[in-house]
Amino acid sequence: MSVLLVALLLLPLLGAAALLVPGPLGIVAVRFGLAVSGVVFVVAVAVASLFDYSAAGRVQGTVDLPWIPWLGVRFHLGIDGISLPLVVLTALLTLLCLVYLAGHRPTRARELVFALLVLELGMIGTFLSLDLLLFFVFFEVVLIPMYFVIAVWGGEGRRRAAYKFILYTLLGSAVLLVGLLYVWAQTGTLDMVRLAAGHPMGRTPQILAFVAIGLGLAVKTPMWPLHTWLPDAHTEAPTVGSVLLAGVLLKMGTYGFARVAIPILPEGAAAVAPWLGALAVVGIVYGALACLAQRDLKRLIAYSSVGHMGFVLLGFATLTPVGINAALYGNVAHGLITGLLFFLVGALKERYGTSDLDRLGSGLLGRLPHVASLLTFAAVASLGLPGLAGFWGEMLALQGAYAPAAGLPRGLFLTFMVIGGLGAVLTAAYFLVMLSRLTHGPWGGPGPTIHDATPIELTAWVPLVVLILVFGVWPSALLGLTTPAVQAFLGVP
């Protein structure tokens, strides 16, 4: 198992390195990338199959090699119930992105595939690492490739958006580094597993560390006041960039809460939870309202991510097994649904050259029946319809908020629950308004020959649809994985 984990990291690295070598690979870059990400996905599935589901709480397949003794950094990898779904999600989304690319001749394909493979390396590394600094290194590996994906292949205002993205996220990760090193200065060890087991830090250092680490992760999640980089980054990013940015990069922030912040700093988490909950709930309503008045489709979906991540953070703020399960479930569900949404919107943008709602016209169901019906399916899944993946994340988060952990103010969390519920209604409102403005309405008969979804696009999208349905109908697929791990670090029987 541990060999497979190392393979998960080595393959993208070797793939990217091979692309760097000037040579014939440039022409078949996309196919080469497809092959590499395919193999990585197969390895991820192999890891999932070899995973011992009965002991999902325990870290499995650990690799523990000394890397920089002077700094005390160890190359410590491992996978458990929390990180397994995210690793498989990352491998899947990267594969689907490259499948999508195979259908579209991107310019400078070699550099784009190089960036995607390095992105995949960074993402999978973040989910696998069990050493604080190794987590930080992989957390930052993602920055440069995503910057170039936005800055080179993006829309008109791409340069400004790319700058804002990389500077904002770097500030976040710099503060995160300060937090991590503060934990290290207090405890003397960088090993997450040992830190999560015993809590040697006092209460106020824990609060300080949680605030620093929380801020760093909140920028990436994004939490409400620190979210302004997301809409710009999404509006300008190319389809593939948006899918990975929304599908996985946001998950690294929330995964940080589940892996680093809450298990290692429980008292800090308990002290800061009400504030985290408040900001999360504001994020839900704020995101929903911002979407209601949005003119651009990609910005709308970016703000919807702010809303959904609000629910995930609310789940974390409750500090109960139900809440954190909800957060992790919402994480994976949001990755699938928003990934599909951005694929569809990207397809629309490539066909019509714009993602502005007014210029896209109406009656899409008549013009592009397949794309429009998939868009309706994704929108409905995103507004949290039961029977689809989005519902369980939100419902369990509200249920967690109804009965938060012992030390937390019950009345406050009840108001969070009510506001979150209203936020869900607003979410339904803006998605339906978007659907009615875009897919419904007159469409004036068969227009110029804009081709509907091509087979390649469908092969990229159908797996996501199937997974959304599977996780909607059969939630214990994921909950069975995360519950033991969450109960393990929350110490709740």
Partner 1 sequence: MIQSIDYWAIAAPLILALAAGLVLLLDAFLPARPGVRAALGCVTLAALVAAFVVVVAQRGVRETFCVPSIGCSYVVDATTIVFAGLALGAGAVVVLLSMAQLAEGDIPVGEWYFLLLAALAGAVTLPASRDLIMLVVALELVSLPVVALTALRRYDGRGAEAALKLFVVSVVSTAVMLFGVSLLYGVTGAVHLDAIAAALAQPERPGAGPVVAVGAVMVVAGFGFKIAAVPFHFWAADVYQGAPIPVAALLSVVSKAAGFAGLILLLTQALPSESATWTPIVAVLAALTMTVGNVLALRQIHPVRLLAWSSVAQSGYILAPVATTDAQAATAYLVFYAAMNLTAFAVVMAVPHDTLDGYRGLVSARPVAGLALAFALICLAGLPPGLAGLFAKVVVFREVVAGGLGWLAVVMAVNTVIGLYYYIAWTARLFTPADATRPAASGPAWIAVGVATAVAVGFSAAPQFVLATLG
Partner 2 sequence: MIVSLVVVLPLAGAVLGLLLSRRPHGRGPAENLAANKRAAWFGVLPTALSTALIGWLAWENTPSTSVLTVIDTGGIAITAGLEVAELSVLTAMLVGVVALAVQVYSVGYMRGESRYPSFSAFISLFTSAMLLVVFAADLLVLYVGWEIMGLCSYLLVGHWWEERANSRAAIKAFLVTRLGDVGFLFGIFVLGFAAGSFRVADILVADIPESTLVLATLLLLAGVAGKSAQVPLHTWLPDAMAGPTPISALIHAATMVAAGIFVVARLYVLFPQPTLDVLGVAAAIGMLGAALAAFAQTDLKRVLAYSTISQLAYMAAALAGGARDAAVFHLVTHGAFKALLFLCAGAVIHHVGSNLLGHMGGLRRPMPMTFWAMTVGYAALIGLPPASGFFSKDAILYGLERSSSPIQLLLYGSALLTVGVTGAYATRAWLMTFFGTGKIQALPEPAPGTAHVFDGREAPLSMLWPMGVLAIPALLLGFTDAGEFHLAPALTALVVALLGAAFVYVVWRGAPERDPARLLGAFRDPCEQAFYVDRLYAVVFVRPVLALARGVVRTDDHVVDGAVRGTGRAAVGLSGLTRHLQNGNAQLYVTGLLAGVLLIAVGAVVLG
Footprint of partner 1 (CB under 8 A)? 22, 67-71, 108, 111, 118, 122, 133, 136-138, 140-141, 143-144, 147-148, 151-152, 159, 162-163, 166-167, 170-171, 174-175, 177-178, 181-182, 184-185
Q: 312 to 351, contacts with partner 2 by CB under 8 A?
A: 320-322, 324-326
Q: 404 to 423, contacts with partner 2 by CB under 8 A?
A: 417-418, 421-422
Give the DSSP per-residue string, 409-441.
Answer: -HHHHHHHHHHHHHHHHHHHHHHHHHHHHHTSS
Residue 467 CA, distance from chain mean position:
16
Q: 424 to 483, contacts with partner 2 by CB under 8 A?
A: 424-426, 428-429, 432-433, 436, 439-443, 475-476, 479-480, 483
Q: Rule CB under 8 A: say whether 399 interacts with partner 2.
A: yes
Return d(Cα 469, Cα 329) in angstroms, integer.
14
Shorter beta-carbon distance to partner 2: residue 10 or 433: 433
Return d(Cα 389, Cα 385) in angstroms, integer.
8
Instruction: Tell me which of partner 2, partner 1, none is bound by residue 146, counting a contact when its beta carbon lies within the kind-specific cut-off of 5 to 8 angstroms.
Output: none
Instruction: Tell me which of partner 1, partner 2, none is bound by residue 182, counting a contact when its beta carbon lies within the kind-specific cut-off of 5 to 8 angstroms.
Output: partner 1
- Could you tell me the end-to-end alpha-carbon distance of the chain, in angstroms, rounded to an integer? 29
Return d(Cα 319, Cα 280) in angstroms, integer.
14
Of 241, 251, 437, whose CA–CA distance to 343 is shortest?
241
Partners of residue 63 on adjacent β-strands: 77
Shorter beta-carbon distance to partner 2: residue 204 or 436: 436
Instruction: Decide: residue 293, CB within 10 A, 0-12 exposed, 13-18 middle, 19+ buried.
Output: exposed
Of 177, 312, 149, whose CA–CA distance to 233 is shortest?
149
Stretch that binds partner 2, among 87-95, 208-216, 237-245, 400-408 (CB under 8 A): 400-408
Partners of residue 79 on adjacent β-strands: 60
Q: Crossing angle of helices 109-128/2-20, nearest 10°?
A: 160
Q: How far is CA 247 from CA 144, 185, 334, 342, in A?
A: 18, 34, 7, 9
Selected from 293, 406, 450, 466, the binder of partner 2 by CB under 8 A is 293
Shorter beta-carbon distance to partner 2: residue 22 or 493: 493
3-state secondary structure of 51: coil
Shorter beta-carbon distance to partner 1: residue 184 or 329: 184
Instruction: Tell me which of partner 1, partner 2, none is bound by residue 321, counting a contact when its beta carbon lies within the kind-specific cut-off of 5 to 8 angstroms.
Output: partner 2
Instruction: Tell me which of partner 2, partner 1, none is bound by residue 406, counting a contact when its beta carbon lies within the kind-specific cut-off of 5 to 8 angstroms.
Output: none
Selected from 386, 407, 409, 447, the binder of partner 2 by CB under 8 A is 386
- Whether the CB-CB separation of 481 and 85 falls below 8 Å is answered with yes
Selected from 228, 275, 409, 450, the binder of partner 2 by CB under 8 A is 228
Shorter beta-carbon distance to partner 1: residue 146 or 397: 146
3-state secondary structure of 372: helix
Return d(Cα 64, Cα 429) in angstroms, integer.
49
Instruction: Tell me which of partner 2, partner 1, none is bound by residue 133, counting a contact when its beta carbon lies within the kind-specific cut-off of 5 to 8 angstroms.
Output: partner 1
Instruction: Tell me which of partner 2, partner 1, none is bound by residue 359, counting a contact when its beta carbon lies within the kind-specific cut-off of 5 to 8 angstroms.
Output: none
Chain residues that interact with partner 2, rule: CB under 8 A = 164, 167-168, 225, 227-229, 286, 289-294, 320-322, 324-326, 363, 365-366, 380, 385-387, 391, 395-396, 398-400, 402-403, 417-418, 421-422, 424-426, 428-429, 432-433, 436, 439-443, 475-476, 479-480, 483, 486-487
